[in-house]
Structure 1
């Protein structure tokens, strides 16, 4: 028998508490979760369920109160703040509901930003940003500012910015939350393609079942606990082949 693939991400007994004393609130109450390379996972749950807290931990934006977070064999909870920042820059790409683009900056320059922070030279930044825009279907749109783009196009720029560093994992927090239905499905088709054809591991928080339907695995949180963890029998959402 072949052995199971080694987990890219492992959470073991992870808790997260906010506040102290009587004001203390336990947002996560002991989470065990394995994610292997190449998965497309939708994290779902009502407001206050713990799904966003989990994403913050996975994105190295916060640390567990207790428990272990292992990323590619590295115990993240033992890293310093600077080491976690290095892990974020090298391995993680982020896509947010609000796009978070610089308004007076062109699409190309927005996509270049993570490489600027890495200290890469102007030529390599520009080439990588142009390739990332082409990857999300925006070749030739690099000179436009966000105000000159539709919401769907802005989110594509945001995804290109996340991809330009060639991340191991793409973390998407309600990536379609500010889009209409048609643009939402366009973005989900893009994430589906990036996962299926390019092998990028995608972790997405969403409260919308029709968006979660694109994922290959569905993880449901409630009251700080993982309520369900199950494969999606028909991944791909509407219109997927």
Structure 2
């Protein structure tokens, strides 16, 4: 990939659900470029298209029209299996609801993406332990989600997202279920991955104070980019 080229480029992206009179256009021609290592917060009211565009960026959905380039590859032209490989090898996901397996230890939860990639047990264990250490959970490997606080569960979820060393971390309302103090701890952790490891972070949030951790804030309204600005007051 050309060093000056963006990691991600969306051009003329539209997304329409339904047909005929029931058709709803969720995205109405999105143009967006994201550079390697950026921390971008995506904001907007309910129904603005922010979640739809994140699903497309995460290869969980496909656009109706337009182009999505990832490292110069046209993602919209890939097959379902090829998109799954892109997700598995380049993307990490953090969700509001943690999405941890309840009866499974923290270590085993973090190992899951590596199991899907077919990595041997010894390297899986080592990588998962390292990821848990990176999120401040050294010594908590054998605890199940029910034995952890909400903040600790989200740290496990973040460790699971970074254990594959992804190019991009996609976070959907990562602090939505957390109190203010814990939210700030989680945001500082996510921010550190962008600053220290060069991971590109794309985060959907409705909380302005959480968006302040990002270097750039993109605001969606009615399926379009309403504003795209560099954040001068990073928390």
Tell me the TM-score range normalised by the shorter chain.
over 0.9
State whether structure 2 residue 219 is matched by structure 1 residue 220: yes
Matched residue, 1:22: 21
Cα distance in 1, alignment partners of residues 47 and 37 from structure 2: 28
Q: Quote how far apart the aligned CAs of 1:6 are.
A: 1.4
Give structure 2 stretches of 5+ with no counterpart.
none
The Cα offsets for residues 96-144 of structure 1, whole Å up to 9 and x where unpaired, read as 0000000000000000000001111110000000000001111111100
TM-score by length of 2: 0.98
SS of 2:7's partner is: strand
The Cα offsets for residues 10-65 of structure 1, whole Å up to 9 and x where unpaired, read as 00000000001100000000000000000000000000000000000000000000
SS of 1:49's partner is: coil
Cα distance in 1, alignment partners of residues 28 and 169 from structure 2: 25
Matched residue, 1:187: 186
Equivalent pairs, count: 234
Matched residue, 1:144: 143
Q: Quote how far apart the aligned CAs of 1:4 are.
A: 8.6
Instruction: After TM superposition, list the pairs within 5 Å mapping 1:119-198 onto structure 2.
Output: 119-198=118-197
Cα distance in 1, alignment partners of residues 196 and 202 from structure 2: 16
Q: Quote how far apart the aligned CAs of 1:5 are.
A: 2.9
Instruction: After TM superposition, list the pairs within 5 Å mapping 1:105-124 onto structure 2.
Output: 105-124=104-123
Cα distance in 1, alignment partners of residues 219 and 156 from structure 2: 29
RMSD value, Cα: 1.0
Give structure 1 stretches of 5+ with no counterpart.
none
Cα distance in 2, alignment partners of residues 77 and 145 from structure 1: 38
Q: Quote how far apart the aligned CAs of 1:199 are.
A: 1.0
**Where does structure 1 differ by over 2 angstroms across 4 or more consecutive aligned residues?**
none
Cα distance in 2, alignment partners of residues 36 and 107 from structure 1: 32
